[in-house]
Chains A and B, each alone.
Chain A
């Protein structure tokens, strides 16, 4: 019998233990996915029926009516490749421009939308042509999530409707939204999106219960991520992140494959490789790499074009092949440490994530850099899902631990001349709410375009556009008199909402920065790198643009004054001002900032007598008809 439940206002009672909804942690990876559950702060991965592998390959086969996910789908790559979709995570939240760059590297046909935007100005989503179906990346991800959910329900023998899902720290707004949408399609309520490195740290942090600074070194199949986290008083704070989205274990395979082919060539073999040959030699290379984790030397036989060759690859030789790749990861790591003003010896522990961290040379490089053995007692393929499961338990059942995440990329607005005004800096703790005031540029301006961008660079066209909307109904005012307050809100999932409001009248418009296409991951890494290298150029460009904007503002002001008080303008001043404006216009068309500033100063000098005449006239007008007492 149902009893009437009474609870204090403001308190939503926690459900009874047996009623509590089960919440799992999901690592939705590019290559592999893992689902885990935590009870009493003890997480465990959920395996298939036979108690075998925890890893579910993120591969979907669209052969029959129902999609097949995982190992079984991967088996179809050799027989029915055109109906197999893999690596779909790379397309999450992407649009037209991003996909052009990756389309050729994916094993299925990506349909690039003809238009980049719908009629409502929303970006078009990418579609995949798979067999006779047309699918969005969100739908494919939803199929993977459904399979993970089914695995969890089967393993736990209970319905599973809630989850914490992990995303790369670099995932931008569009990719995060797409991930949430995929979960919704799969019937999963996302309790929180958590950054992958943060989840990994959580998995270790609880076990070790230690306070201090931790680095999370995540080297997967195709991406590298490094994050710096501070743990204190049960709170995990992300201090800084960095990475390279085009660097991973796949590059190691390529290095070995190239080595094998070079040896064959030295032996006189002439290989013309087709796609299937390339796949086979890469597969052999991968086996070599994996064997070299435990062995000092591996024998491998390569058979291509009917010619069989035998090779011996030693670990030393392998280490030499990948030395450059590994040192790139350590250089990025040093950069991130530097950003956070941290020395390697300040780092108390290093967490390893991703299958590629099994490579001994990688472990050694990390150990050398931090002068300590990295933590590796949790399987690097499972650690992210385990952390996500812990967070899922914390969110549903309460916990003494708390994750404080940061924004991975700066968020800003376009201002005059295409300059980015940063509103929220990279690495700002979330949730965050920040406002900036802007003003109108022209007299009587009634509308203002609000253009939201994400990235580290100074100019709009070098950053990623997230959303545009127009604030209309600004009352007629002189240039610079309107006060337009633009408010940015980033919630705990890292999702952005922007609103704009004209303060003197309360005219308001709001936009949730939705679907959008995100920055593709390599763009993101490149943008970060470029922002360092180009900081100086950007500054020059910005100063030049500012000089132009300022000059334009002066010209408009002088012209408005000339129109208003033509009677005060002598013929002589008229000529010299008009000439000065013409000179300034010419300078503005050029690239020389000093020339613009000089010409602007010349205009100011030329218009001074006129300005003084106006001032005198205003004062006379103001004083007219008033006695001395009133003026004082």
Chain B
């Protein structure tokens, strides 16, 4: 029996001919296909690696949206419209996931069979990080002027960048336990930057 788990080909719904499982359109009749279980990296023709050229990926994303978006199928059959909607949604999902470093790291962890921290039933258990987060939060609470907050934002972004690099190294060398911790830290840093920005605009509005 052949390997039915990951068939390389399926049957085109329109012309009933064979079509590659990963194909967006049937090569024979050009009909749009249902989105398969393509992994996000493959969708954009990328290596499975944390380092992603977001600009290049966005160019591919836009090119594919040009072909797949429901606006391209407004004059077509209901079935084609529905397939296009599914394709465009799954393309959006892939792009949104890979664009964001934390989401990308979580996605890579899950693909490797590791549930990231902080999800349902996975509490964060890193005293050093919790302490650091608490100190940052206190510092933000105390900050009352734009200059101080700007300096904090700058510092947090710098740390986030360094953390992102370590996270990439950990994921690419399959050190998943380290990657989990770093992903959590990156999530905290991003959140702190957002909160600092929000506070800055609240101060500006007051």
Interfacial residues, chain A to chain B (CB-CB below 8 A): 8-12, 14, 191-192, 232-235, 331, 334-335, 338, 394-396, 402-404, 428-434, 437, 439, 489, 491-492, 532-533, 535
Interfacial residues, chain B to chain A (CB-CB below 8 A): 12, 14-15, 26, 29-32, 58-59, 62-63, 65-66, 69-72, 74-77, 80, 85-86, 88-90, 92-93, 95-96, 120, 195, 197-198, 200-202, 204-205
Given contacts A235-B66, A492-B71, contact A11 B202 (CB under 8 A): no
Q: Assess the B96–A335 pair: CB atoms within 8 A.
A: no
- Min Cβ gap A192→B in Å is 7
- Min Cβ gap B23→A in Å is 13
Q: Assess the A532–B201 pair: CB atoms within 8 A.
A: yes
A439, B63: Cα distance in complex, Å: 39
> In this complex, what residue of B is CB-closest to A232?
B62
Which B residues are CB-close (under 8 A) to A434? 93
Which B residues are CB-close (under 8 A) to A404? 65, 69
Secondary structure of the A contact surface, majority rule: mixed
Q: Of A9, A191, A402, which one neighbours B29 at CB under 8 angstroms?
A: A9
Given contacts A10-B14, A431-B70, A491-B85, contact A396 B201 (CB under 8 A): no
Which A residues are CB-close (under 8 A) to B71? 192, 394-395, 402-403, 492
Q: Assess the B74–A191 pair: CB atoms within 8 A.
A: yes
Which B residues are CB-close (under 8 A) to A191? 74
Q: Of A11, A235, A338, which one neighbours B65 at CB under 8 angstroms?
A: A235
Q: Assess the B90–A11 pair: CB atoms within 8 A.
A: no
Which B residues are CB-close (under 8 A) to A338? 197, 200-201
Most buried by B among A10, A233, A429, A433: A10
A232, B55: Cα distance in complex, Å: 11
- Min Cβ gap A204→B in Å is 19
A385, B70: Cα distance in complex, Å: 21
Q: Assess the B90–A433 pair: CB atoms within 8 A.
A: yes
Which B residues are CB-close (under 8 A) to A437? 120
Which A residues are CB-close (under 8 A) to B195? 535
Q: Assess the A492–B205 pair: CB atoms within 8 A.
A: no
A331, B206: Cα distance in complex, Å: 11
> In this complex, what residue of B is CB-closest to A429?
B92
Q: Assess the B85–A492 pair: CB atoms within 8 A.
A: yes
Q: Of B59, B66, B92, B205, which one neighbours A402 at CB under 8 angstroms?
A: B66
- Min Cβ gap B45→A in Å is 17
A532, B120: Cα distance in complex, Å: 26
Given contacts A335-B201, A492-B69, A492-B71, contact A11 B31 (CB under 8 A): yes
> In this complex, what residue of B is CB-closest to A392?
B74
Which A residues are CB-close (under 8 A) to B201? 334-335, 338, 532
A191, B76: Cα distance in complex, Å: 12
- Min Cβ gap A159→B in Å is 17
Q: Of A12, A192, A232, which one neighbours B80 at CB under 8 angstroms?
A: A12
A446, B155: Cα distance in complex, Å: 50
> In this complex, what residue of A is CB-closest to B141?
A536
A395, B195: Cα distance in complex, Å: 41
Given contacts A394-B71, A433-B89, A535-B198, contact A10 B30 (CB under 8 A): yes
Which B residues are CB-close (under 8 A) to A396? 74-75
> In this complex, what residue of A is CB-closest to B83?
A10
Which B residues are CB-close (under 8 A) to A535? 195, 198
Q: Assess the B92–A431 pair: CB atoms within 8 A.
A: yes
Q: Of A9, A10, A428, which one neighbours B96 at CB under 8 angstroms?
A: A428
> In this complex, what residue of B is CB-closest to A14?
B75
> In this complex, what residue of B is CB-closest to A493?
B70
A437, B62: Cα distance in complex, Å: 30
Q: Assess the B198–A8 pair: CB atoms within 8 A.
A: no
Which A residues are CB-close (under 8 A) to B92? 428-432
A397, B76: Cα distance in complex, Å: 12
Which A residues are CB-close (under 8 A) to B58? 232
Q: Assess the B202–A12 pair: CB atoms within 8 A.
A: no
- Min Cβ gap A229→B in Å is 14
A8, B15: Cα distance in complex, Å: 8
Which A residues are CB-close (under 8 A) to B85? 431, 491-492
- Min Cβ gap B123→A in Å is 11
* A-B contact list, 25 entries, CB within 8 Å: A8-B30, A9-B29, A10-B12, A10-B80, A11-B30, A192-B71, A233-B66, A234-B66, A235-B66, A334-B204, A335-B205, A395-B71, A396-B75, A428-B92, A431-B89, A432-B89, A432-B92, A432-B93, A433-B89, A434-B93, A491-B85, A492-B69, A492-B88, A532-B198, A535-B195
A532, B26: Cα distance in complex, Å: 48
Given contacts A434-B93, A533-B202, contact A12 B75 (CB under 8 A): yes
A535, B199: Cα distance in complex, Å: 10
